[in-house]
Every structure is written in C-alpha cells, then in structure tokens.
Amino acid sequence: MRISTRGEYGVRAMFDLAVHYGQGPIALKVIAERQAISEHYLEQLMGNLRKAGLVSSVRGAQGGYQLASAPEKIPVGDIIRTLEGPIAPMDCVEEDASAGCRQFERCATRVLWERLRDSMEQVLDTTTLETLIEEGMRLRAKDDSFMYHI
C-alpha cells in the first residue's frame, strides 16, 4: 500500500512549481536540485505530467516547466493518477470497473475495497497544491527552519 517515488517526486516537483507559480518557466535542473531528485528520472515524470496537461513546457535555452493552471485548480489526485495509475486498492474497483472480477456486484469484500478507494480519493481530490502551500505556511510559522524542498 505504498505510493512509489513516481507519485512522491511528482507531488514534490509540482509543489515546487506551485510555490514559484507565475514566475515563468523553471528548468528541470533547478527543480531536481531543489528537491534532490535524479534529473533524468524527474524528466520522465515531467513528460507524463505534460502529456496529461498538468504542466506546460518551454523548450530551448531559458526554457523549463510551469503549472498549466493555478495551484488551487490542481488536486493532488490528478498528479497521482497520472504517475501511479487509477486510485484503487484493487483492480476490481477501478473507476471504469471493466477489469476482471466476474462476481462483480455480488462480492462481499468488494464493498470494503470500494469504501477504501472512496476514502483515498476523497483526501487526494480535495487537497490541491494551494492547500499544501497554505499548510506549509502554517508549519513555517511554527518553525522558522521550515524548508520547501524534501
């Protein structure tokens, strides 16, 4: 039941872009350094996020990445779905649901996995990048050594 580094790094990188939202494109190299993530690896993740329409990129010198929309418009769930696949503890309760389980509506444990999925989605879809920034500020207020990276 772990999120892999794809989701973790993705959220961290997007949070970084959110903190610097409106300041023009930010080079991959900068994000990777600030967040202590392998540059080449992050590149792949950013490629996926771009294809999913969550970030836009500017090529060439002085280029980089920026959020495709404002931080309050980007739920963490969108990032996770892009990099980790559907949010579901089990294949049989994916949203499109087509996959597999022949017992379908009649399975007793299925109800459990549906509830688990719903509670996970509730958290991830109601938390936006803006939410994370606000909460980061609150942490910062309590502790001045607060850091945005890691």
Partner DNA sequence: CCAATCCCGAGTAAGTTGCTAGGAATTAAT
Partner DNA sequence: ATTAATTCCTAGCAACTTACTCGGGATTGG
How far is the C-alpha of 121 from the C-alpha of 134, rounded, in Å?
A: 20
- Three-state DSSP state, 138: helix
Question: Within 70-129, which residues bind DNA (CB under 7 A)?
Answer: none
Of the pair 41, 146, the CB lying nearest DNA is at: 41
Answer whether 12's CB lies under 8 Å from 35's CB: yes
Q: Is residue 61 helix, strand or coil?
A: coil
Piece in contact with DNA (CB under 7 A), picked from 16-24, 38-46, 69-77, 111-119: 38-46
| Contact indicator for 93, 117 with CB cutoff of 8 Å | yes
52 binds, among DNA, a second copy, none (CB under 5 to 8 A by kind): none
Q: Which of 10, 16, 18, 50 binds DNA (CB under 7 A)?
A: 50
Q: Is 5 in the site for DNA (CB under 7 A)?
A: yes
Q: How far is the CB of 21 from a second copy (least distance, A)?
A: 15
